[in-house]
Amino acid sequence: METENLLAQPTAVTVPVTSAQPSAVPVATGTPAPESENPAASPSGKINLNTATMEELMTLPGIGEKRAAAIVADREANGPFRVPEDLTRVDGIGEGILGGLIDMVTVS
């Protein structure tokens, strides 16, 4: 009968935490990654039309592989863009495309 009373009582169990067990609380280590690792991005985060690669240009709205290639080809043939609006000199880029991306680009 004494055994039955011992078994019926609640018992607390303590489990030691060791370094081999994962922690339930995430811990930040190291330095945070930069917000943008895009080399064509300016300090403002805008893409520089005069230094961007095709892949970087393709991140802009309305710019796919063909338009990105046309931007790079125009830049190589005619020199750097003086203002973002110069982008309209590229075949396939008009006011509509320019309006969708002008706030995301810069020139220098």
Residues 6+ apart with CB under 8 A from 103: 46
Mean of pLDDT values over 23-42: 50
Give the tens place of pLDDT for each residue, 50-105.
999 999 999 999 999 999 999 999 999 999 999 999 999 999 999 999 999 999 99
Stretch 10-20: mean pLDDT: 58
Q: What is the pLDDT of residue 38?
A: 54
Q: How far apart are CA 68 and CA 62, in angstroms?
A: 10
Nearest alpha-carbon partner for 56 in 72, 44, 43 = 72
Q: How far apart are CA 101 and CA 106, in angstroms?
A: 10
pLDDT computed for residue 44 by the predictor = 80
Question: pLDDT at position 43, please?
Answer: 72
Q: Is residue 33 over pLDDT 60?
A: no
Give the model confidence (pLDDT) of 20-29 as tens digits.
Answer: 555 554 444 4
- Predicted local distance difference test score (pLDDT) of residue 88: 96
